[in-house]
């Protein structure tokens, strides 16, 4: 979640002014982290309008729908709704759709072509390769996408294939291309590649689209792949010298972190070569972070070769020193993260949960933080990965509990009745839905109607009645089951009754994956049971809390889940991968598990050649830099003495990036008095929790 940003300057600084007012040729705005790049883009749009360019002739291209929507809103606030309405603010893919809907017939597409999503593509690839192995088809999908992002078709891929696996993938790609052409369909990569082919092969279409856009602004240009760069180039290489190269590229070579999906920092190197008149403008003043944080970031990124010189600085003062903490393992790390949140929150109401983010390298690292935050009843959301509550098995169980609470909840009914399957198929549910619609009743109420026998056969009706009776019986037992111990017994008995563990194992090819999903279910059972109260163990003692029924707890689950799923305005701690955190900021950030093998991520384990290894390490260093520069006020970097690697526990080696921060230089060491103050605050927070539990226990005696 994005915390409110420190107030940008009322007026633009000198570098920002240069970027906004340069209209006569191409420019590259090197926008350091927190330097106000979106502000520059929207002010440049206003300046272009002021110069006489009509809104429909200005394009601003970014990478996500969310970023495009934010840019449009900020432009609307600056230039007014009427002008903003006609601006061509979009993602690369949306621009590609627009071009293909208009001129796709010139590359063999009808105007109403279909766009396949990832799952659709997987099905076509399985068919094209004659295989039923999803994992193999996924590998083909990934490889073909990378080839397309490099501008290769199947013929080019066959020539470039360097292994037997790649040669097989290239042959599958050839059949895949034929299938898409027959289906009149495209995948997401085609939304960039086909518009480029259109411009390269059709003079009339190229002239039309070059005439359409008089100035193009591209955000996050360091994240473009080879095909996106060529598309930009084709759009701005106007034959008229007065219109040639009229673009503003905004980006930061130090934040190029998407090489694994085809983005290449080489595009930044090419810009000055392809456009010799390119004006370079560096935005170095950071309006987000304090001096200590920026110095740590600058020192880390100094380990990479520089494409363009740039050093971030801040007028916000030094602030608190960056802290490095050693933790015994993942659980200890998560406990310390929770204690830090509680300690800072105890200092005043002005500190919100939404001020905190815990950032990590890989999705699997979220789980232990989720467990500890749930145990402390701290609301959180997972960004860039799958939340505990988003997992299919947890959604199944929540659907059952929602149905116990509200039997008119049709979406919950439709999920619970097939989780697991019980001989109730799509046709039966469709007939039940028609009947419920005709009589204006819920699906659950409809299944007990004496008139339903006229719409369904006896076997289907019997299966529905059996499900309905079980739900009613479970609701009765959930209403009268109190306390954690009895709640856990009820929930485990329910899962056994419906055969849910076997349902998971039947649905997975991998026993390991099925076991992991069943462990998620058991975690959920423990979590619900704990919320039912009774005698619990906490902070080394046993305490008694109010007992709640399973049904009472079920009534609160929807609220908890909706809190986890709500938008950016909720007061929740953010758990996020470093990649997903790019572009966001928080007052208080913890970079978790900054160890060799995690960050940097297994750089020596993949058998890479020397040059590729160097490039991988440089990208991992940029990822560390991105993580550091997400923090506004405080930054904690945690490292593990021992960490899990698969099923093993191994010695943890602190990341080389910690040493590169050089926190012992320039007065960045933590003042011992401040450290004592912080430790006291953390101890006070723990003590308050213990005293509260003891007071509650005493009141119940």
Residue 40 phi/psi, 5-degree rounding, is: -65, -45
Residue 421 phi/psi, 5-degree rounding, is: -65, 145
Closest residue by Cα to residue 252 from 14, 38, 494, 92:
38
- Rounded to whole angstroms, how far apart are CA atoms 676 and 431? 68
Closest residue by Cα to residue 391 from 250, 541, 527:
527
- Rounded to whole angstroms, how far apart are CA atoms 613 and 618? 9
In the residue annotation, 660 being an active-site residue is answered as no
Closest residue by Cα to residue 387 from 226, 217, 566, 575:
575
In the residue annotation, 570 being an active-site residue is answered as no
> What does the DSSP 8-state code read for residue 56?
G
Return all residues near 49 (Cβ < 8 A) that are at least 6 apart.
55, 58, 79, 83
Three-state SS sequence of 89-114: EEEHHHHHHHHHHHHHHHHCCCCCCE
Return all residues near 15 (Cβ < 8 A) that are at least 6 apart.
281, 282, 283, 284, 285
B/e letters for 30-49, b = 16+ CB within 10 Å, e = fewer, are bbbbbbbbbbbbbbbbebbb
> What does the DSSP 8-state code read for residue 467?
H
B/e letters for 239-258, b = 16+ CB within 10 Å, e = fewer, are eeeeeebbbbbbbbbbbbbb
Q: Which of 228, 255, 285, 365 is catalytic?
A: 255
For residue 474, the surrounding DSSP H or E stretch is helix 458-480
Q: Which of 220, 252, 370, 409 is catalytic?
A: 220
Paired sense of beta strands 573-577 and 541-545, if any: unpaired
Closest residue by Cα to residue 394 from 424, 415, 368:
415
Q: Which of 374, 630, 632, 656 is catalytic?
A: 630
In the residue annotation, 219 being an active-site residue is answered as yes
- Rounded to whole angstroms, how far apart are CA atoms 159 and 178? 18
In the residue annotation, 630 being an active-site residue is answered as yes
What number of other Cβ atoms are within 10 A of residue 314's Cβ?
21
Q: Which of 37, 148, 336, 643 is catalytic?
A: 37
In the residue annotation, 506 being an active-site residue is answered as no
In the residue annotation, 665 being an active-site residue is answered as no
| Cβ 149 vs Cβ 261: under 8 Å | yes
Long-range contacts of 123-127 (CB under 8 A, 24+ apart): 124/176, 124/179, 124/180, 124/183, 125/172, 125/176, 127/179
- CA separation (Å) from 443 to 25, 432, 447, 449? 64, 7, 6, 10
- Rounded to whole angstroms, how far apart are CA atoms 221 and 199? 20
Q: Which residues pair with 574 in a beta bridge?
A: 357, 381
- DSSP letters for 237-302: --SSTTTTT-EEEEE-GGG---GGGTB-THHHHHHHHH-TTPEEEEE-EESSS-HHHHHHHHHHHT
Q: Which of 103, 190, 219, 355 is catalytic?
A: 219
Q: Which of 16, 38, 62, 210 is catalytic?
A: 38
- The catalytic residues are 37-38, 219-220, 255, 630
């Amino acid at each position: 979640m994005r915390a409110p940003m420190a107030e940008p300057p009322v007026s633009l600084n000198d570098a920002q002014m240069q970027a906004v007012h340069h209209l006569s040729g191409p420019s590259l705005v090197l926008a350091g982290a927190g330097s106000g790049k979106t502000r520059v883009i929207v002010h440049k749009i206003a300046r272009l309008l002021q110069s006489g360019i009509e809104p429909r002739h200005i394009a601003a291209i970014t990478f996500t729908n969310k970023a495009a929507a934010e840019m449009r809103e900020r432009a609307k606030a600056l230039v007014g709704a009427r002008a903003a309405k006609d601006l061509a603010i979009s993602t690369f893919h949306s621009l590609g759709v627009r071009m293909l809907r208009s001129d796709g017939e010139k590359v063999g597409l009808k105007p109403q072509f279909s766009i396949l999503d990832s799952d659709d593509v997987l099905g076509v690839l399985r068919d094209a390769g004659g295989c039923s192995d999803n994992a193999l088809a996924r590998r083909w999908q990934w490889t073909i996408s990378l080839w397309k992002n490099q501008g290769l078709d199947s013929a080019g891929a066959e020539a470039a294939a360097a292994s037997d696996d790649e040669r097989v993938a290239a042959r599958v790609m050839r059949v895949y291309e034929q299938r898409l052409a027959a289906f009149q369909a495209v995948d997401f990569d085609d939304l960039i590649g086909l518009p480029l082919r259109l411009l390269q092969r059709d003079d009339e279409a190229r002239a039309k689209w070059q005439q359409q856009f008089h100035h193009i602004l591209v955000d996050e240009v360091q994240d473009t792949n080879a095909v996106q760069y060529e598309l930009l180039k084709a759009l701005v290489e106007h034959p008229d010298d007065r219109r040639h190269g009229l673009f503003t590229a905004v980006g930061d070579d130090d934040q190029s972190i998407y090489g694994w999906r085809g983005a290449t920092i080489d595009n930044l190197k090419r810009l000055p070569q392809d456009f010799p008149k390119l004006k370079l403008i560096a935005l170095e003043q950071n309006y987000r972070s304090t001096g200590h944080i920026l110095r740590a970031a600058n020192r880390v990124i100094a380990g990479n070769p520089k494409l363009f010189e740039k050093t971030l600085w801040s007028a916000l003062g030094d602030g608190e020193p960056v802290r490095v903490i050693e933790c015994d393992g993942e659980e200890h790390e998560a406990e310390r993260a929770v204690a830090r949140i509680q300690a800072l929150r105890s200092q005043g109401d002005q500190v919100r949960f939404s001020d905190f983010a815990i950032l990590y390298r890989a999705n699997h690292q979220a789980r232990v933080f989720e467990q500890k935050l749930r145990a402390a009843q701290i609301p959180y959301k997972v960004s860039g990965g799958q939340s505990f509550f988003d997992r299919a098995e947890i959604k199944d169980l929540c659907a059952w509990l929602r149905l116990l609470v509200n039997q008119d909840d049709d979406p919950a009914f439709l999920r619970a009745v097939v989780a697991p399957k019980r001989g109730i198929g799509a046709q039966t549910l469709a007939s039940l839905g028609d009947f419920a619609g005709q009589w204006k009743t819920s699906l659950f109420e409809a299944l007990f109607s004496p008139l339903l026998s006229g719409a369904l056969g006896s076997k289907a009706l019997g299966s529905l009645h059996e499900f309905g009776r079980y739900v009613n019986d479970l609701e009765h037992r959930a209403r009268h089951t109190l306390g954690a111990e009895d709640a856990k017994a009820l929930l485990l008995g329910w899962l056994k009754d419906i055969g849910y563990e076997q349902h998971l194992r039947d649905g997975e090819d991998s026993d390991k994956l099925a076991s992991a999903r069943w462990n998620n279910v058991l975690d959920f059972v423990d979590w619900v049971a704990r919320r039912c109260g009774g005698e619990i163990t906490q902070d080394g003692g046993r305490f008694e809390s109010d007992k709640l029924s399973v049904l009472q707890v079920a009534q609160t689950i929807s609220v908890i889940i909706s809190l986890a799923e709500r938008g950016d305005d909720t007061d929740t701690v953010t758990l996020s991968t470093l990649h997903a955190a790019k572009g966001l900021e928080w007052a208080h950030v913890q970079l978790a598990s900054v160890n060799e093998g995690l960050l940097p991520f297994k750089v020596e384990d993949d058998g890479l050649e020397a040059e590729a290894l160097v490039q991988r390490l440089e990208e991992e260093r940029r990822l560390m830099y991105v993580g550091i520069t997400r923090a506004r006020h405080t930054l904690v970097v945690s490292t593990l003495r021992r960490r899990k690697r698969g099923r093993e526990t191994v010695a943890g080696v602190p990341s080389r990036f910690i040493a590169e921060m050089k926190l012992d230089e320039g007065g960045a060491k933590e003042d011992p008095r401040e450290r004592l103050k912080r430790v006291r605050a953390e101890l006070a927070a723990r003590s308050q929790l213990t005293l509260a539990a003891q007071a509650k226990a005493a009141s119940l005696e």
